[in-house]
Amino acid sequence: MTKYDETSIKILEGLEAVRKRPGMYIGSTDKRGLHHLVWEIVDNAIDEIINGYGNYIKIVLHGDGSITIADNGRGVPIGMHESGKSTPEVIYTILHAGGKFESGNYKVSGGLHGVGASVVNALSSKMDVLIYRDGVISNIRFTDGGKVESPLKKVGDSNKTGTVVTFMPDYTIFKNCSFSYTTICERMQESAFLIPSVTIEVIDEESKREVKYHYDDGLTNFVEYINDGKNTLHKVLNFSGTKNDIEVNVALQYTDTYNENIVSFVNNVKTSDGGTHEVGFKTGITKAFNDYVKNNNLIKGKDNTFDGSDVREGLTAVINLRIPEASLQFEGQTKGKLGTPEARSITESITYEKIKFFLEENKEIALNIVEKALKSKVAREAARKAREEARNGKGKNKLEKNLSGKLAPATTKNGKINELFLVEGDSAGGSAKSGRDRKFQAILPLRGKVINAEKTSVEEILKNEEINTIIHTIGAGLGSDFIVEDSAYDKVIIMTDADVDGSHIQILLLTFFYRFMRPLIEAGKLYIAKPPLYKIDYGKKHFYAYSDEERYKIVSENTGKPDISRNKGLGEMNPDELWDTTMNPDTRTLIRVNINDASLAEKRVNVLMGDKVEPRKEWIEENIIFTMEDNYRVE
């Protein structure tokens, strides 16, 4: 029998606190939270490798819902801790214990909260740790959210070193969730880009998929990967520099697209909300180009400078800074924004110098980029003019007349509550117009195919009827002139059928919003409606199921013989049905589109929209299941 003394009670209380409020420690108990557990353990392995020990990480997803993460570092120390417990027991049962052991100047471990392995243990029904160190293999096992099932003991001899952690998440906490091979692969690939010495292997035992990531040229390979399938204007430019102990590493490349894609990291942790380093980088680039065009007299006329957005059109860049822990400052709710002031000036001056040199040394490339930036400048000015005209009610051109015919506006104007439904096809549009609450819901039926925004210039975008209608209806401009506060709607909701065509339109619209109205997504105002997949009738009782699980649940909870029909398209639903199932704010389910990971979203869009058919087919086959839930939640 295990004896509980005062300290073990305290420990259990600590872990119990995690189980009571998991959200406080890992953000949420949905799929994102579940994966957070993996990142916590993987980050420990990555820390060890960054500190110079080991070069290999292996992740295995088991068919029973458990996962194993292994590294070939030194192995967690197996000696006794001053508390009388073994070091691994302390690490895996005491909150924040890992922090006390952190070594080195750079705090490298990532994760949203950085709370460590004990939190993972607290939220697992089983955890098993194998340590290869000092010529022996040691094992400790936990159960039921961190209770010691078997204390550290020797289980064999080995001259290898490393740590192997296997855990079974407590699925009573993470309900209806499972590990996603794709999500784990995407994150591991990113880590492999940032740490060129590491090899990361991911294996899914159930689907028999496996992959190995290793990149000798780190950030350069990262940029090449993002730009895969695009036409590039030059070889990847790679530079770095150090000042006041802050190390700046950058890889960048221009493409012939209209997209800007800057991804930044600090100590290998993604800074999703940018921060001082990104600001410095952008200022450095803008200054370098403006100096170059000025010195070479390349822009005629009075207004002869570029806006930052002009010189970033078509630019893909990955920035990684190493900052000593003492100078680290993060801001924002999710701590995803770098606040360290020196990072700005240091990144700016290094970027400015290197880009200036690059432009001077590569005249032909420089002129190509300048020409592209000039086009952006012209288009930007045209877009602003068009926007001003639209605002002042001028320029009643053909498109706008068209627009007024198609849109069924809400009867009251209130950008804080109004909703705009972008609906596929006229017949669904008709049902939606009749079924809606006209006070605050507007319907815009879309005809034909939305153009592919990734491969189209601003000028062409402005000419496309569908897109033009959307821009004018939302009324907040586009591109760098988009002002989210001006949006006539609080929610823009994409409502398409749950089939291949519907998905295609969704992706095209998402690409458009991602490219031209990104702040709308960042403000959490873009949604995807979720129509039901099945209608289940028991005589006079009707149910709607939005997933297969829900369908089974409804059938298991009712008696009698159900009449189950796979849902018809939106257009075939009658207005009441559409209102009840998909549009009524009290009963509907909406998926909020979020871009947590711009580079991956960009990559997906690129694979899906690029010229190459093979990668697109592969990606769709591997990742798109037409149940709506997962595919388009750009996370």
Residues assigned a catalytic role: 424, 497, 499, 501
**Cβ 97 to ligand 0R9 shortest distance, Å:** 7
Q: Which residue is associated with the tokens 């730009």?
A: 227
Q: Return all residues near 457 (Cβ < 8 A) that are at least 6 apart.
A: 258, 375, 379
Q: Hey, what amino acid is at 181?
A: Y
Gap between the Cα atoms of 219 and 171, Å rounded: 37
Enter the tokens of residue 457. Answer: 């210039």
**Using CA of residue 216, residue 37, residue 136, residue 155, what is the dihedral sign?**
negative
**Residue 469 φ/ψ, nearest 5 degrees:** -60, -45
Is the CB of 71 or the CB of 602 nearer to ligand 0R9?
71
Coil/strand/helix, residue 250 = strand
Minimum distance of ligand 0R9 from residue 211's CB (angstroms): 18
**Contacting residues toward ligand 0R9, per CB under 6 A:** 41, 44-45, 48, 69-71, 73-77, 87, 91, 98, 101, 103, 117, 163, 165
- Alpha helices (H) in 175-242, listed in sequence order: 181-194, 218-226
Task: Name the residue with the smallest CB distance to ligand 0R9.
Answer: 101
Smallest separation, CB 146 to ligand 0R9 (Å): 15
Closest by CA position to 281, among listed 252, 259, 256, 245: 252
Q: How far is the CB of 89 from ligand 0R9 (least distance, A)?
A: 10
Residue 73: CB minimum distance to ligand 0R9, A:
4
Tokens representing 388?
């001003």
Residue 159 CB, shortest distance to ligand 0R9, in Å, is 16
Nearer to ligand 0R9, 44 or 66 (CB): 44
Query: 3-state class of 442 per DSSP?
Result: strand
The whole-angstrom separation of Cα 174 and Cα 152 is: 28
3-state secondary structure string across 354-413: HHHHHHHHCHHHHHHHHHHHHHHHHHHHHHHHHHHHHHCCCCCCHHHHHHHHHCECCCCC
Cα distances from 343 to residues 322, 324, 360, 375, in angstroms, run 10, 11, 26, 32
Tell me the C-alpha to C-alpha distance, in Å, between residue 375 and each of 284, 382, 618: 21, 11, 35
Report the residue number, 128 or 260, with the smaller CB distance to ligand 0R9. Answer: 128
Report DSSP state, residue 176.
Answer: T
How big is the chain, counted in residues? 635
Nearer to ligand 0R9, 77 or 308 (CB): 77
> Which one, 137 or 492, has the nearer CB to ligand 0R9?
137
Residue corresponding to tokens 């009738």: 537
> CA dist 249 to 108, 166, 189, 244, Å?
16, 34, 18, 15
Q: Yes or no: say if 230 and 257 are a contact pair by the CB < 8 Å rule.
A: yes
> What is the phi/psi pair of residue 448, to 5°?
70, -170
Torsion sign across C-alpha atoms 532, 537, 543, 549: negative
Q: How far is the CB of 445 from ligand 0R9 (least distance, A)?
A: 53
d(CA 86, CA 84): 7
- The shares of helix, strand and coil residues in the chain, as percent rounded to the nearest 5, are 40, 20, 35
Distance in angstroms (rounded) separating the CA atoms of residues 481 and 266: 29
C-alpha 513/C-alpha 627 separation (Å) is 22
Q: Which residues contact 496 (CB under 8 A, 6 or more apart)?
A: 423, 424, 502, 503, 505, 506, 529, 570
Cβ closest to ligand 0R9, residue 59 vs residue 246: 59
Closer Cβ to ligand 0R9, 84 or 524, answer by number:
84
Task: Work out how close the CB of 11 gets to ligand 0R9 at its nearest, in angstroms, rounded to a whole number.
Answer: 16
**Closer by beta carbon to ligand 0R9, 167 or else 215:** 167
Which amino acid belongs to residue 375? K
CA distance 167 to 128: 6
- Minimal distance in Å, beta carbon 20 to ligand 0R9? 25
Q: Measuring CA to CA, which residue among 266, 15, 40 is closest to residue 122?
A: 15
Map tokens 């897109």 to a residue: 467
Helix (H, G, I), strand (E, B) or coil at 131: strand
Q: Across the beta sheet with 124-133, what order do the strands follow? A: 147-157, 136-143, 124-133, 162-169, 67-71, 56-61, 199-204, 209-213
Nearer to ligand 0R9, 108 or 494 (CB): 108
Residue 478 to residue 476: CA distance in whole angstroms: 7
